[in-house]
Amino acid sequence: MSKPVIDLSEIYKPHPRQQLAHSAVEQNVLYGGGVGGGKSWWLCAESIQLSLDYPGNRGYLCRQKLTDFRISTLLDLKRYLTATVIVQDRGKQEIVELITQHHQTENYFKLYNGSIIFYGGLGDDQGGLSRLKNMTLGWYGIDQIEESTEEQWAWLQTRLRLQLPNIHYKALGSANPAPGWVKQKWLVDKPEDYVFIPALPRDNPYLPKNYESNLRKSLPVEMVSALLDGNWDAIEGGNFVFSWQELKDASVREIVPEGDVYMGVDLAWGGSDENVAVIRQGNKVLALERWIYRKEDAADSITKITQLINQWNIIHKNVTIDAISGGALVYSGRKKLNYNVTPFVAGETADDDIHYSNRRAEMYFQLQKRLHEGSIHIPNDRDLIAQLASIKYKAPQGEKKIQLVSKEEMKKEGGHSPDRADALAMAFYTGQIKNPQIRWL
């Protein structure tokens, strides 16, 4: 039987940096250092290549959460479902599919040569992991490995025992710069057989034209330095409440809207601020509405809020309005919102006042928990994501309670007012209201 002919160039042609990472001879390869450099495409191509190099190979491709893997890396791997192989057998040519089976409940791809690519989530896929326990592997790959732990990495290393002729085991990772064990291992300790290949957006000629410049304009400087310029020290001590990656994941997550509808409203005080309302049903955001601030016309906002309440059929107490600006509306004396809505007082004592200095800190850490769990969807709105990415906490020495950098401080430091972020966080906030007397706005 002569060698099969496989032409994957329609699906993937590596750019020079990806090529460099493909040709690394070391077993443990980290390819990363920035967003959009082509990490996931590289990882999928390596998975296919290792499966072809050693017929009968077994690999495990994953992220920390299976739900995230499904909306990111898996889509890139699925591009290979269209690939074919020309096999010559006793003078006869036959065209077969490269991937003969995608088992969607057991989570694996089977290739024509008997190799199998299992996939899953290192942190949330117990079924998949217990199957791995009884298995040996020839390779594994972790996308966004900075989300995973060193213990998980070490455990997977013990699986690399598959016996195949001349097999060269591979352990692969992709990452964005972050403080922690990944940086320590690949950039500082650099054990033998470990190599780090930098990946930056500017290496990737296939990105949309304004990809990098748009991010450069909107992200906080520390994130620009880390995610666009590949600086692994930039985020250290930055005290950001959210990581860019989890915000991005949440913006593409598919969630079925179920249950009650809620609305968070942040009203403009002045200047360049905007009025924003975020409407969610269950864990999915349905709409982000904005309208312009006009000092003389607070009544416009009352009309708009009333409209939204009716349009989305929202129970009044499920409407949370920033009380300071909401109060300003009341005192404008023109028109009242005669609904029993929920006012949000940022500086008020938090429900959990052991951990949080005030309600705003509690609100944002509640949102952080939901994003860490990967349970919610947020709109794929560049300004919203940039504002969320800019929210920081303070950790003064000796102070146990978490404080946030306030909106006023953020504006003073030349940042944007995080109005969209506040409206979103209020839409998701479920706190106990302590001031029923100001519920009537």
Ligand X SMILES: Nc1ncnc2c1ncn2[C@@H]1O[C@H](COP(=O)(O)OP(=O)(O)OP(=O)(O)O)[C@@H](O)[C@H]1O
Binding site for Mg ion (CB under 5 A): 39-40
# binding residues, ligand X (CB under 6 A)? 16
**Taking contact as CB under 6 A, which single stretch among the options 6-14, 93-101, 133-141, 321-329 is the one that binds ligand X?**
6-14
CB nearer to Mg ion: give 39 or 407: 39
Q: SS in 3 state form for the chain?
A: CCCCEECCCCCCCCCHHHHHHHCCCCCEEEEECCCCCCHHHHHHHHHHHHHHHCCCCEEEEEECCHHHHHHCHHHHHHHHHHCEEEEEECCEEEEEECEEEEECCCCEEEECCCCEEEEEECCCCHHHHHHHHCCCECEEEECCHHHCCHHHHHHHHHHECCCCCCCCCEEEEEECCCCCHHHHHHHHHCCCCEEEEECCHHHCCCCCCCHHHHHHHHCCHHHHHHHHCCCCCCCCCCCECCCHHHHHHHHHCCCCCCCCEEEEEECCCCCCCEEEEEEEECCEEEEEEEEECCCCCHHHHHHHHHHHHHHHCCCHHHEEEEHHHHHHHHHCCCCCCCCECEEECCCCCCCCCCCECCHHHHHHHHHHHHHHHCCCCCCCCHHHHHHHHHCEEECCCCCCCEEECCHHHHHHCCCCCCHHHHHHHHHHCCCCCCCHHHCEC
Q: Is 37 in the site for ligand X (CB under 6 A)?
A: yes
Q: Is 71 in the site for ligand X (CB under 6 A)?
A: no
CB nearer to ligand X: give 18 or 342: 18
Q: Give the nearest distance from C-beta 349 to ligand X in angstroms.
A: 40
Q: Which of 5, 7, 13, 210 binds ligand X (CB under 6 A)?
A: 13
Q: Which of 21, 29, 30, 35 binds ligand X (CB under 6 A)?
A: 35
Q: Under 8 Å CB-to-CB from 194, ≥6 apart: which residues?
A: 26, 27, 28, 30, 185, 186
Q: Which of 14, 56, 180, 327 binds ligand X (CB under 6 A)?
A: 14
CB nearer to Mg ion: give 39 or 359: 39
Q: Give the nearest distance from C-beta 11 to ligand X in angstroms.
A: 9
Q: Under 8 Å CB-to-CB from 383, ≥6 apart: which residues?
A: 218, 416, 420
12 binds, among Mg ion, ligand X, none (CB under 5 to 8 A by kind): ligand X
CB nearer to ligand X: give 40 or 283: 40
Q: Give the nearest distance from C-beta 49 to Mg ion in angstroms.
A: 18
358 binds, among ligand X, Mg ion, none (CB under 5 to 8 A by kind): none
**Taking contact as CB under 6 A, which single stretch among the options 29-37, 59-67, 86-94, 331-339 is the one that binds ligand X?**
29-37
Give the span between the Cα atoms of 57 and 248, in whole angstroms: 33
Q: Give the nearest distance from C-beta 138 to Mg ion in angstroms.
A: 23
418 binds, among Mg ion, ligand X, none (CB under 5 to 8 A by kind): none
Q: Which of 24, 33, 40, 175 binds ligand X (CB under 6 A)?
A: 40
Give the span between the Cα atoms of 303 and 311, in whole angstroms: 12
Q: Is 401 in the site for ligand X (CB under 6 A)?
A: no
CB nearer to Mg ion: give 39 or 392: 39
Q: Is 113 in the site for ligand X (CB under 6 A)?
A: no
Q: Give the nearest distance from C-beta 39 to Mg ion in angstroms.
A: 5
Q: Give the nearest distance from C-beta 369 to ligand X in angstroms.
A: 23
Q: Is 64 in the site for ligand X (CB under 6 A)?
A: no
In which residue are the tokens 């057989």 written?
Answer: 193
Reference 261, options 186, 333, 183, 319; nearest CA is 319
Q: Give the nearest distance from C-beta 119 to ligand X in angstroms.
A: 16
CB nearer to ligand X: give 204 or 368: 204
CB nearer to Mg ion: give 74 or 421: 74
172 binds, among ligand X, Mg ion, none (CB under 5 to 8 A by kind): none
Q: Is 47 in the site for ligand X (CB under 6 A)?
A: no
Touching ligand X, residues 158-217 (CB under 6 A): 199, 204, 206-207
**Taking contact as CB under 6 A, which single stretch among the options 33-41, 296-304, 372-380, 412-420 is the one that binds ligand X?**
33-41
- Residue ranges in contact with ligand X by CB under 6 A: 12-15, 18, 35-41, 199, 204, 206-207
